[in-house]
Amino acid sequence: MQLKQMDMNLFLVLEAIYSQRNLTRAAEQLHITQPAVSNALARLRRTLDDPLFTRTPAGMQPTPLTERIMPSVRQALALLGGSLSEQRLFDPATEEKTLRLSMNDMAETLLLPRLLERLQKLAPDISVESYYVPRDQLVKELSANTLDFGLDIPLVSATHLHQQRLVNDRYLCMLRVDHPLADRARLTLDEYLQLEHIHVSSRRSGPGLVDIALNKLGRRRSIKLRVQHYRVAPLVVLRTDLALTVPASLADQYPARLFELPFQIPQMDWHLLWHKNQHEDPANKWLRGQLMDLFVP
């Protein structure tokens, strides 16, 4: 088989099925019907003389041949997409686009007010959609171009993504200003552990960074409240005697008493994530430049 005999659109279908592991979702990604995806897969199977995917309860699983050729297919598609993107002019003042971001509620609180203020001035026709995509789905959505950027921790194994660190944030202990311990110059570890704490986690159970660090010291804190979002936790602190261990960038927004932690925990490391196939796209370039600029100290 020679390359000139191949319908290059078939490789788009191959990549979509590989990314989605599902014919229906691949069709949605490509904006075509599922029968069209099935017909394209049948043509690819005949051309390459390989099943390419096998149907399993977990979805369409790639064969060894598919795994072997996909890096080259994706590289070729990315190069082609980049070449086409370079031909398209981008004017933020007139561009009509929806910017799709994945981030948690704390990132929304820190980023969206400043981002929308900037877009209103520089790119008034760009709208924004923000929602949280679980980490195990993030690479897939970025690859499928159903998402432009993610704000999350570094994803070490995500070889198809570009990643740029935005902020490295330390944690502080937050108390209300008239808390019985608010007049201390600092908190000792014993005083910290005497407090009742708020734990923020999207999971129903399991320890966080604070608890893991304390466990290494053979200590344990008392958790009085477990909530999903950082945004609500400081409001509880301001009305109760509960303590909250919170990133400094969020803590600074509230009229509260802040203490350095009396033990060491890793800082919060946020990265901007985007797929390599969007790296040379003019709109993506401009938008990620704006996002990075918002986090410059």
Instruction: Dump pLDDT digits (tens) for 58-93.
Output: 889 999 999 988 888 887 777 666 555 555 578 899
Q: How many CB atoms lie within 10 A of CB 216?
A: 11
Amino acid 144: pLDDT: 78
Half-sphere exposure in the Cβ direction for 70 (13 Å, CA):
18
Q: How confident is the model at residue 203 (pLDDT cuts 50, 70, 90)?
A: confident
Q: What percent of the chain has pLDDT over 90?
A: 47
CA 116, chain centre distance (Å): 19
Residue whose C-alpha is closest to residue 139's, from 292, 19, 28, 53: 19
Radius of gyration, CA atoms only, the chain: 24
Q: How confident is the model at residue 51 (pLDDT cuts 50, 70, 90)?
A: very high
Q: What percent of the chain has pLDDT over 70?
A: 93
- Rounded to 5 degrees, what angle do the CA atoms 175, 234, 132 make? 145
Amino acid 184: pLDDT: 94
Q: How confident is the model at residue 6 (pLDDT cuts 50, 70, 90)?
A: low
pTM for the model stands at: 0.63
Question: Which residue is it, tokens 């198809």?
Answer: 160
The per-residue pLDDT for range 209-222, each reduced to its tens digit, is: 899 999 999 999 99
**Environment class of residue 220 by beta-carbon count within 10 Å: exposed (0-12), middle (13-18) or buried (19+)?**
exposed
Is residue 149 within 8 A of residue 278, CB to CB? The reply is no
Amino acid 129: pLDDT: 94
Amino acid 115: pLDDT: 95
Is the model more confident about 1 or about 162?
162
Is residue 151 within 8 A of residue 161, CB to CB? The reply is no
State mean pLDDT over 230-250. Answer: 94
**Mean pLDDT in the chain?**
88
State mean pLDDT over 150-160. Answer: 80
Examine the pLDDT at 192 and tell me if it is beyond 90: yes
Examine the pLDDT at 4 and tell me if it is beyond 60: no
- Give the total residue count for the chain: 297
Q: How confident is the model at residue 98 (pLDDT cuts 50, 70, 90)?
A: very high
Residue whose C-alpha is closest to residue 180's, from 235, 241, 237: 241
- The phi and psi torsions of 138 (rounded to 5 degrees) equal -65, -45
SS3 79: helix
